[in-house]
Structure 1
Amino acid sequence: MASSASAYIRCPHCNERMRTHGHVVFSPLTKQLTAACHNPDCLFSAKVSIEISQQIQPSLQPKPEITAALTR
């Protein structure tokens, strides 16, 4: 079994980890997060898009509309 590691976003300016604050769901496959650098000397913030773009292992409980979107 693969090791479990959290995904995180680094600030493009100071390389510190960014924290996410809220999100907007555009579709079951696309979400936009607001991320902010917690370095007090930087304080950069940005919108970050997350998209499920390709399936690696098909679901054992597939939704036809999701399967269709991922196999185009």
Structure 2
Amino acid sequence: MKIRNISLGYNLSKDVANKIGLANMKFYVQAVNPGSIYQSLKWYDFDTERTYFNRDYVMGIEVGF
């Protein structure tokens, strides 16, 4: 079983965002293709038929003024 996407985000409350002069603020992290839970060949990706697969990790802050 392959894990394709994991996302986690946190929105600051409006009270806290307003205290620092923002309308809203969100922190988030995301992992794309972080790995497999179970796979008979760990070095081979059956979906792309290659010996690797791309992993991406993203962190960010979204603000509204």
* TM-score bucket of the superposed structures, by smaller chain: 0.3 to 0.5
* Structure ranking higher in strand proportion: 2
TM-score by length of 1: 0.34
